Amino acid sequence: MVLKSLTGNYAVALAVKMARVDVVAAYPITPQTTIVEKLAEYIDGGELDAIMIRVESEHSALAAAYGSALAGARAFTATSSHGLLYMYEWVNWVSRARVPLVMAIVTRTIGPPWNIWTDHSDYYEQRDTGWIQGFAMDSQEVFDMTLQAFKISEDPRVYLPVMIGLDAFILSHTSMPVEVPEQELVDEWLGARTQGFIIDGSEALIHGALSSPEYTEEFIKDMGKAMEEAVEVIREVDYSFGRTFGRSYGGLVELYKCSDAKYHLVLMGAWAGDAMEAVDTLREQGYSIGVVRVRYTRPFPGEELYKALSSSKGVIVVERGVSFGSMGPMFLDIAGNMLKYSRKLPYMRNVIAGVGGVNVTYKDFEYIAKETIDYIESGEEPSVMTWYHARRSK
């Protein structure tokens, strides 16, 4: 094990290299670009024995990665925002094809206006595509999650592609220490690639042929089943990763100071670190609050969240994205999924913040949490959904 200072993007690239990918297909877009630049450096420098396909668009990036994955190669691509939207047809195609593949999404606001800073709308818009979706908090987790993504994607119970979200700049371009394991240990833990079928001419296989509604329904239903199975696979992979490398994250959800907490901040991404800092301060001030950090949004960790939140006095879901005309996508997921376990939901508030990349600090989390808690403690209920505007509130 060595300790390296890595940006989020370089942590992705290093994990991809250590997973010994065979093919990388990618197209530049800020702020993803440094991932593929680093991979190009690894490949051309002889450190990674892989083929890089320098495609002419994101649509082709995922298409080419897909082709090589069908042919039995471990494949990777990465993109952001408009690039992700441009490849959207292929995002859906790959999951429905049931081919293991890993993609990093450096989350970035969608235009217009042009904006390169982070919000989660590009990531959220993929939630119905059939990809497993994880979201990391820091460089170490990005590194670990990328390695884990290959293992989850290639598990015979799953065979679905995995995307890993990481925030633009806050994480993608910020250096943090990362424990990098020995290559041999990674090889042993990850193992050889497995997939449900390989199209390499060794037998005549036809993939994706015109299909009747009845067959198609079976394929789609099976994706749902694989997603359900993936819950256990993600937990297992997190556990075995911890046994091998000494780091576990608690599966699909990480709980911070939740064991005795009456109130809960729920969120995902790099700013969860700021929320944790806010919780430390709030605790000093006598507020009983913890952070529930969502690591995976597909499959959605309904069970974990129900366990963590069902007896909460107040749940504050803070999100960097909104479904226009409705609410925050994660808030809707939490509310809907908790109904699977109980008809009685705790008080829940949805705060939309940091959209467009607006900086949200631990001070803002303190403010949001205090405001909500003070309302509830005084017997009032604040509105269920609010926009928190950082510029105006300070």
Partner 1 sequence: MSSTPTLPRDMRNTVLPGHAACHGCPIPMGLKVVGAVFGDKVILVVPACCTSVVLGMHPGTAFNGSVIHVAFASAAAVASGISAGLFKRGVRGVQVVAWAGDGGTADIGMASLSGAAERNDDFIYVMYDNEAYMNTGIQRSSATPAGAWTTTTPLGKKESKKDVTKILIAHGVPYVATASIAYPHDFYNKLKKAAGIRGFKFIYLHAPCPVGWRFDPSLTVKVAKLAVETGMIILYEYYDGKIHISGPSRPLLDKSRRRPLIEYLKFQGRFHGISEGELRNLESYVDSSWEWVKKFMQ
Partner 2 sequence: MSNLTKKAKSLHKIPIARPSIGVAGRTGTWRWMKPVVDLSKCTKCYQCEIYCPDNSISVEALKGAVVNYEYCKGCGVCAEVCPAKAISMVEEEQHGP
Amino acid identity for residue 163 in this structure: M
Buried b (16+ CB within 10 A) or exposed e, 280-317: eebeeeebebbbbbbbbbbbbbbbbbbebbeebebbbb
Ramachandran area for residue 376 (φ above 0: left; ψ -120 to 50: alpha; else beta): alpha
CB atoms < 10 A from the CB of 23, how many? 20
Tokens of 87: 């490849």
Report the DSSP beta bridge partners of residue 78.
104
CA 139 to chain centre: 13
Q: From the list partner 2, partner 1, none, which binds 20 (C-beta under 5 to 8 Å, kind-based)?
A: partner 2
89 sits near partner 1 (criterion: CB under 8 A): yes
Give the footprint of partner 2 on this chain (CB under 8 A).
Answer: 20-22, 72-74, 96-98, 156-157, 159, 187, 192-198, 204-209, 211, 215, 218-219, 221-222, 225-226
80 sits near partner 1 (criterion: CB under 8 A): no
84 sits near partner 1 (criterion: CB under 8 A): no
Q: From the list partner 1, partner 2, none, which binds 36 (C-beta under 5 to 8 Å, kind-based)?
A: none
Burial-class residue 103 by CB neighbours within 10 Å (0-12, 13-18, 19+).
buried
CB atoms < 10 A from the CB of 247, how many? 14
154 sits near partner 1 (criterion: CB under 8 A): no
Which sign does the torsion angle of CA 366, 120, 255, 244 carry? Answer: negative
- Residue number with CB closer to partner 1 (5 or 57): 57
Tokens of 177: 């220490």
State in angstroms the smallest separation of the CB of 20 from partner 2. 5
Amino acid identity for residue 198 in this structure: I
Which segment (87-95, 142-150, 152-160, 184-192) binds partner 1 by CB under 8 A?
Answer: 87-95
Helix (H, G, I), strand (E, B) or coil at 167: strand
Residue 361, CB-side half-sphere exposure with 13 Å CA sphere: 6
- Residue number with CB closer to partner 2 (208 or 286): 208
- Residue number with CB closer to partner 2 (23 or 291): 23
Q: From the list partner 2, partner 1, none, which binds 68 (C-beta under 5 to 8 Å, kind-based)?
A: partner 1
Instruction: State the Cα–Cα distance between residues 53 and 76, nearest whole angstrom.
Output: 11
8 Å CB contact between 303 and 341: yes
State in angstroms the smallest separation of the CB of 104 from partner 1. 18
Q: From the list partner 2, partner 1, none, which binds 4 (C-beta under 5 to 8 Å, kind-based)?
A: none
State in angstroms the smallest separation of the CB of 71 from partner 1. 3
36 sits near partner 1 (criterion: CB under 8 A): no
221 sits near partner 1 (criterion: CB under 8 A): no
Instruction: State the Cα–Cα distance between residues 255 and 382, nearest whole angstrom.
Output: 25
Residue of 12, 15, 19, 23 interacting with partner 1 (CB under 8 A): 23
State in angstroms the smallest separation of the CB of 18 from partner 2. 12
- Residue number with CB closer to partner 2 (1 or 209): 209
CA 338 to chain centre: 20
Which segment (72-80, 141-149, 227-235, 381-389) binds partner 1 by CB under 8 A?
Answer: 72-80
Amino acid identity for residue 22 in this structure: D
Helix (H, G, I), strand (E, B) or coil at 181: coil
Q: From the list partner 2, partner 1, none, which binds 180 (C-beta under 5 to 8 Å, kind-based)?
A: none
- Residue number with CB closer to partner 1 (215 or 239): 215
State in angstroms the smallest separation of the CB of 52 from partner 1. 9
- Residue number with CB closer to partner 1 (99 or 266): 99
**Helix H or strand E encompassing 368:** helix 362-377
8 Å CB contact between 121 and 355: yes
Near partner 1 in 178-217, by CB under 8 A: 199-212, 215
- Residue number with CB closer to partner 2 (185 or 384): 185
8 Å CB contact between 331 and 316: no
- Residue number with CB closer to partner 1 (199 or 376): 199
- Residue number with CB closer to partner 1 (194 or 359): 194
Near partner 1 in 39-68, by CB under 8 A: 50-51, 53-57, 59-61, 63-68
Report the interface residues with partner 1, using CB under 8 A. 22-23, 25, 50-51, 53-57, 59-61, 63-73, 75, 89-90, 93, 199-212, 215
